[in-house]
Amino acid sequence: MLKKIELLAPAGDMECLNTAVRFGADAVYIGGSFMQLRADCVSFTDEQIGEAAAKLHENGKKLYVTVNSFAKNDEIALLGDYAKRLYSLGADAAIVSDLGALVTMKSAQPELQIHISTQANCCNYASARTYYDMGASRVVLARELTIEEIAQLRAKTPPELELEAFVHGAMCMAYSGRCLISSFITGRSGNRGECTQPCRWEYYLVEQKRPNEFFKVEQQEGCSAVLSSHDLKAIAFLDELEQAGIESFKIEGRMKTPYYLATVVNAYRRAIDGTADMRLLERELRAFSHRPYSDGFYHGELVRAHANDGLYHWECTFAGVVKDCENGVVTVEQRNFFKLGDVLEIVSPDSLGQSFTVENIIDKNSESVPTACHPKELYRVQCGLELKKGDILRVRIDEEQ
């Protein structure tokens, strides 16, 4: 078991926020209405920020709001009022990357804590100390740092300055996410929250005088995703990060599903608390959609365990969310197809490794049906286990992986 480490989870909507809380996150970060680096579909309104803050504070947890887009001239004047508004709504901190944003927001609302975003690519102790002197209470370190470099930085920074690092999720192929590919190809800038992820696409080489001859650009045999990064997975060496001085473990994924949040937060919560075997937790992290995993740069040069084919891999599909359970009959809000005879695995903060076989399915008309095939519809299934609202059900599709 590690000492008290903050587990920080993302949320793109209230359902994901509630999932993160239930499965053990100590804090949640979200995007608001201004200067957040994700699509509008995962932004919270002011009213929702207030609701989220109240929910988290009721459970002894914290809320951080991302304001990490690089600011333009006409946005600086708006940041002071935004900082005041975030504080009044209950936000515990704002995550910023722009120096002008840091100074403006801290001056306008000194009580609002400022966390320096990983987009600021802080990778040395002098920069970290400068951010602290300017009023920042935490630095989210650049993802390119090794564990040894983190320890060196920790040794030369004020102990009051908190250090945060990513431990799981997608990584950008550009240095600290500062990429222009999306802007150049599609006119949508990743530095303004509009990235179309062209680094995940497959590319071909075309010679000028042979316009109809396409040659696949291969990184390794059969693999053409030359720009696509592996996903980060640090669950096996969280103790090394803690010993180096990290105080907050951050999970990536504000555009992910409740299934992703439940599975990842549950696994890392159990790893931090030392309540499950690491082999089981590693298996959990293969259950949902992900690209090939790596340790990132934490152990030095980025090591690829195998070729990155640019594709997503998963061992389970998200079957549904438990809405109610009474006398062994579970009401499920369907998210993906499941049928009679399927084995539904349970993702729950209360148990690990439980499952049951689907022996009957009752639809909204109280009729017995062979499949649950309508998204978001409610189905009743005999379970035999006492599940709780918010538990996740999944179907394993490949036991051999």
Q: What is the DSSP string of 16-71?
A: HHHHHHHTT-SEEEEE-SSS-SS-GGGBPPHHHHHHHHHHHHHTT-EEEEEE-SPP
- How high is the pLDDT of residue 209? 76
Virtual torsion, Cα 385, 388, 394, 396, nearest 10 deg: -40
Strands (E), 177-334: 204-206, 214-216, 231-233, 248-251, 293-294, 316-326, 329-334
- How high is the pLDDT of residue 400? 40
Nearest Cα neighbor of 269 from 344, 345, 323, 350 is 350
Alpha-carbon distance values, 279 to 62, 237, 248, 274, 284 (Å) = 30, 13, 23, 12, 9
Cα(265)–Cα(260) distance, integer angstroms: 8
Cα(159)–Cα(152) distance, integer angstroms: 13
Cα(364)–Cα(373) distance, integer angstroms: 12
Question: Mind listing the domains of the chain with CATH numbers?
Answer: 6-171+229-294 (3.20.20.70), 176-216 (no CATH), 317-396 (2.40.30.10)
- How high is the pLDDT of residue 277? 96
Residue by residue, pLDDT tens for the chain (401 residues) are: 787 899 999 999 999 999 999 999 999 999 998 887 666 667 899 999 999 999 999 999 999 999 998 888 999 999 999 999 999 999 999 999 999 999 999 999 999 999 999 999 999 999 999 999 999 999 999 999 999 999 999 999 999 999 999 999 987 766 566 666 666 566 666 565 566 666 666 666 677 777 777 666 655 555 555 566 788 999 999 999 999 999 999 999 988 999 999 999 999 999 999 999 999 999 999 999 998 898 999 998 765 555 556 677 899 999 999 999 999 899 999 999 999 999 999 999 999 999 999 999 999 999 999 999 999 999 999 998 989 999 999 999 864 44
| Residue linked to tokens 């940041």 | 79
- The total of other beta-carbon atoms located within 10 Å of residue 246's CB is 25
| Residue linked to tokens 């148990």 | 351
- How high is the pLDDT of residue 192? 54
- What is the CA angle 260-261-262, rounded to 5? 95
Query: What 3-state DSSP class applies to 122?
Result: coil
- How high is the pLDDT of residue 225? 54
- How high is the pLDDT of residue 187? 67
Q: What is the largest CA-CA distance in the chain?
A: 72
| Residue linked to tokens 């369907």 | 334
First to last CA, the chain: 29
Tokens at 114, concatenated: 């400022």
Query: What 3-state DSSP class applies to 244?
Result: helix
Nearest Cα neighbor of 287 from 346, 366, 217 is 346
- How high is the pLDDT of residue 64? 98
Nearest Cα neighbor of 236 from 194, 189, 187, 285 is 285
329: left (phi over 0), alpha (psi -120 to 50) or beta: beta
Task: Supply φ then ψ for residue 176, to 5 degrees.
Answer: 50, 30
- How high is the pLDDT of residue 229? 74
Buried b (16+ CB within 10 A) or exposed e, 108-142: ebeebbbbbbbbbbbbbbebbbebbeeebbbbbbb
Tokens at 119, concatenated: 């987009």
In terms of Cβ atoms closer than 10 Å to its own Cβ (0-12, 13-18, 19+), residue 327 is: exposed
Cα(231)–Cα(71) distance, integer angstroms: 28
Pair 246, 164: CB distance under 8 Å: yes
- How high is the pLDDT of residue 311? 73
Cα(321)–Cα(114) distance, integer angstroms: 35
